[in-house]
Amino acid sequence: MLTVVLDTNVLVATVRSRRGASFKLLQLLAEGRYRVAISVPTILEYEEVLCREISPDGWNREDVDAVLDLMCRLGQPHDISFRLRPSSPDPDDEMLIELAFAASVDYIVTHNSRDFVGSESFGVRAIRPAGFLRLLEGRP
């Protein structure tokens, strides 16, 4: 079974639309179709960014907690005891590359693949949510 790292922007996309590949990937995670690697820093990042999406006519704190609970319940925790920096043009994405390397995953699922240029040197490729969805469904 494939294990990946989910970039925070994939979770944000699920908040903004229930019709996209990101939302479908969260459903497939809940169904056990793939696994996700997590770490304390990534969960804290997910929380911080998802809380920015809270609005009176949209998501609330309970929605954020539900996503965090799902990630913590289904995620495979990994401790990061090293740094591979600098490895990304975006310093906030360094921890995702380190997690992907520590967890020996093949993919970081992201909407911003340009932020992960060079991650291939650590054996990790960036893939967009739609591409990963096709991979899970066995389509080219």
% of the chain with per-residue pLDDT over 70: 90
Does residue 82 have a pLDDT over 80?
Answer: no
pLDDT tens-digit readout, 89-102: 555 667 888 899 89
Give the domain CATH number at 69: 3.40.50.1010
Q: What is the distance between the alpha carbons of residues 50 and 48, in angstroms, rounded to a whole number?
A: 6
Q: Compute CA distances 13 → 53, 55, 104, 131, whole Å.
A: 10, 15, 25, 15
pLDDT band at 58 (very low <50, low <70, confident <90, very high): confident
Q: What are the b/e assignments for 130-140, b being 16+ CB within 10 Å?
A: ebbbebeeeee
For the chain, how many structural domains are there in total? 1
Q: What is the pLDDT at residue 80?
A: 77
pLDDT band at residue 86 using 50, 70 and 90 as cut-offs:
very low
| pTM given for the model | 0.89
> Tokens 């998802």 correspond to what residue?
50
